[in-house]
Amino acid sequence: MKKLVGLPLLLVLSLVFTLTLAAACGSAAESPTEAPAPTAAPQPTAAPTAMPEPTATPAEQMEEKSMSADEELVAYAASVAGGPGAIYVGDLNQLTGPAPEVSLGGIDEEGKPDGSVPLESLERHLWIYESDYYQDLLDKAKLLDPTPLTSSGEEFEFQYACTNRALLPCKLMEFFLIPNVAERTNDQLIINLTSFPELGISGADNMTLIRDGTLDIAEIYTGYVAGEVPALEIQSLWGMFKDHKAQYDATTVLTPDLEQMIADESGGSPIITHNWYVGIDQFFFCSEALTTPEDFKGKKTRSHGAAISDWINGMGAEAQFVAFAEVYTALERGILDCGVTGADPAYGQRWYEVTTHMNGFLVSLFNDNVVMNAGNFDKLPPDIQAILIEEGAKHELEALRLAAIQNEVGVKKNELAGLEKVLFSEELQALSDQAVLNNVVPGWINRVGDMNDPIFDIFNEKITPIVGIRIEEDGTVVKIN
C-alpha cells in the first residue's frame, strides 16, 4: 500500500474508476449477451375491400325491367309465329301464315279463298304494326302475364249480335274470339253468334237495346246509331281521308273518346273489343259506269248512315237507307239504281250478280265497338271479366294481322266475279271533295246541333291535323291545307 500511496494522484483516480465500473457491470459481463427479439414481420396489407356496385337509379331499373320484358315478348312472338295469334315484335315474317278460317285470308289467281297472309301485304301495312295503338294492344292483352282462371263451376251463356254473318269481322268473331274465350274459361263463358237480320233489327237502336238488356252483346257501328247519338258520327264522316293510314290514325286517336261516349250512352260494360272493317273502300255498285256528274243525278242509291247519305246527295244521287240484307233484292228488282257499301261486304252479299260496275271510291278503314250489357258483365267473376277483355285485345291483334291482306283483296274478288271497276276522274274526285266540305261535315254539325258540344273541340284537336279540315266557332267548315 505504501507504493500506491506514492503513485500520482491522476493514476490512482483512474484505477479506482475502472474497478468500480467492473464491479457494477460484473453480472452482465458474466452472462452472454441476449440477442434482441426479432422484429415481427409486418402483416401483409389486406387487399382493399371491393367497392360496392353503384345502385341502379329507378330509371335504370325500369330500363332493365323493360329490356327483360322485351326479350320475353320476343320469345313469345316466336312461339306463336306463323298463324292465328301471331304478333309483331320487329319481324313481319312472323305474321305470315294462314288465317283462322280460309275466307279470312287471301285469294288465289282464280279468286278462290286460300287463307293466306303474305309478307308483301304486311310490308305495305307496316304502319299498322308500328303504331302506338298496336303496342297498346300488346299491353292490354297481357300476353306475358295472363289472368289465371280461378273460377270453377260457373255457367254463363250470352248471344252476340253482329251486323251480318257474311262480313269478315263476324267470321273472325266466330272462328277466333268466341272459341278462345270458351277455351280459356274452361267453357264457363259461352258466346253464341247471331246477326242483325236473324234478330230482325237494323242496328240503329243498338245502344238502347244494350242498355235495356234486349241484346246481351252487340257491335255498335257509329253510322247506324248516329240518330241516337250524332256526336259518335265523328268516326263516320265519309270522304275526308286520302289514304288508309290517315283514316287508321284518325280512328285510333278517337278510340278513347268513342269508347267513353258509347259506355255512357249504352250504360254498357267496358268495350270488349273492336271489329276492324278493312277491304271496305266505298263504291257505287250500279248497272252502269258513272263517269260524269250528270251520271249521278237522280240515282236512287242505298245508304247505310246519315253521313254517307250526305255524301251520296252531294254527288247528285238520291240516298235511301235500306237494311244491308235487303239491298240485293232491291237492286235485282230495280227499286234501287245503285248501292253504296264496301268492296268486301258487297262481295259477301253477291252484289256482283245484280250489278255490273263498281264506281268510286271513298277510302275506308275503321273499326266499331263491341259492348256488353252492364248487368251481364257485372255477373261475371272478376277473373272471367279480365279474361274476356284480354281475349278481346288478342282478337283485335289478329284482326289487324289479317287487315293487311283483307284490305287488298276486296276489290279483286269483285273484279274476278265479273264487275268492272270505274275509278273517279279528276272531275268526280273534285266533286267528292266538295261534297265533304259542303254536305258531309255541315250535315253532321247540324245533327249535333249545339256548337258548344265538346265533340267539335275533339274534331279540331285530333282530326284537323290529319285531314286539314277545321270547324269554326260559328259552324262553318274550312279547308286549311
Q: What does the pLDDT look like over 71-108, one tens digit per residue? A: 999 999 999 999 999 999 999 999 999 999 999 999 99
Place of cell 279540331: 460
Q: Residue 481: which pLDDT band, with cuts at 50, 70 and 90?
A: confident
Exposed/middle/buried for residue 183 (C-beta within 10 Å: 0-12, 13-18, 19+) = exposed
What's the grid cell of residue 255? 278510340
Q: Do residues 339 and 301 share a domain? A: yes
Whether residue 4 is contained in a domain is answered as: no
Beta bridge partners of 302: 320, 339
Exposed/middle/buried for residue 27 (C-beta within 10 Å: 0-12, 13-18, 19+) = exposed
What's the grid cell of residue 296? 249521278
Residue 423, SS3?
Answer: strand
Whether residue 267 is contained in a domain is answered as: yes
What is the distance between the alpha carbons of residues 327 and 451, in angstroms, rounded to a whole number?
36
Q: Residue 61: which pLDDT band, with cuts at 50, 70 and 90?
A: low
Whether residue 273 is contained in a domain is answered as: yes
- pLDDT of 269: 87
Task: Say if residues 191 and 161 touch (Cβ distance below 8 Å).
Answer: no
Is residue 42 over pLDDT 80?
no
Q: Do residues 341 and 306 share a domain? A: yes
Q: Do residues 370 and 395 share a domain? A: yes
Q: Do residues 270 and 342 share a domain? A: no
- The angle formed by the CA atoms of residues 272, 278 and 283, to the nearest 5 degrees, is 130
Q: Do residues 358 and 209 share a domain? A: no
Whether residue 22 is contained in a domain is answered as: no
Q: Do residues 202 and 335 share a domain? A: no
Whether residue 378 is contained in a domain is answered as: yes
Place of cell 272462328: 175
Q: Which residue type, as a one-letter code, is found at position 388?
A: L
Q: Which of the 8 DSSP states describes residue 56?
A: P
Q: Do residues 316 and 258 share a domain? A: no
What's the grid cell of residue 257? 273518346
Q: Residue 142: which pLDDT band, with cuts at 50, 70 and 90?
A: very high
Whether residue 222 is contained in a domain is answered as: yes
Output the average pLDDT for the chain: 89
Domain count, the chain: 3
User: Of the candidates 346, 309, 332, 312, which has an alpha carbon nearest to the alpha carbon of residue 164?
Assistant: 346
Q: Which residue type, as a one-letter code, is found at position 256?
A: P
Task: Say if residues 366 and 221 touch (Cβ distance below 8 Å).
Answer: no
- pLDDT of 109: 86
Beta bridge partners of 282: 342, 362
- pLDDT of 54: 57
Place of cell 267473376: 381
**What's the per-residue H, E or C state across 137-162?**
HHHHCCCCCCCCCCCCCCCEEEEEEE
Q: Taking the CB of residue 443, how many other CB atoms lie within 10 A of it?
A: 20
Task: Say if residues 246 and 467 touch (Cβ distance below 8 Å).
Answer: yes
What is the distance between the alpha carbons of residues 373 and 218, in angstroms, rounded to a whole number?
9
Q: How far is CA 114 from CA 1, 103, 136, 401, in A?
A: 147, 7, 31, 16
Whether residue 430 is contained in a domain is answered as: yes
Give residue-wise pLDDT tens across range 346-383: 999 999 999 999 999 999 999 999 999 999 999 999 99
**What does the chain come to in residues?**
481
Across 444-471, average pLDDT:
97
Q: Do residues 322 and 463 share a domain? A: no
Picking from 41-45, 137-141, 364-368, 461-465, which range would have the lowest pLDDT averaged per residue?
A: 41-45
Structural domain range at position 458: 450-481
Is residue 437 over pLDDT 60?
yes
Q: Do residues 168 and 227 share a domain? A: yes
Beta bridge partners of 460: none
Q: Do residues 236 and 354 share a domain? A: no
What is the distance between the alpha carbons of residues 350 and 413, in angstroms, rounded to a whole number?
10
Give residue-wise pLDDT tens across range 151-167: 999 999 999 999 999 99
The CATH number of residue 151's host domain is 3.40.190.170
Q: Residue 45: which pLDDT band, with cuts at 50, 70 and 90?
A: very low
Task: Say if residues 160 and 170 touch (Cβ distance below 8 Å).
Answer: no
- pLDDT of 418: 96
Task: Say if residues 339 and 351 touch (Cβ distance below 8 Å).
Answer: yes
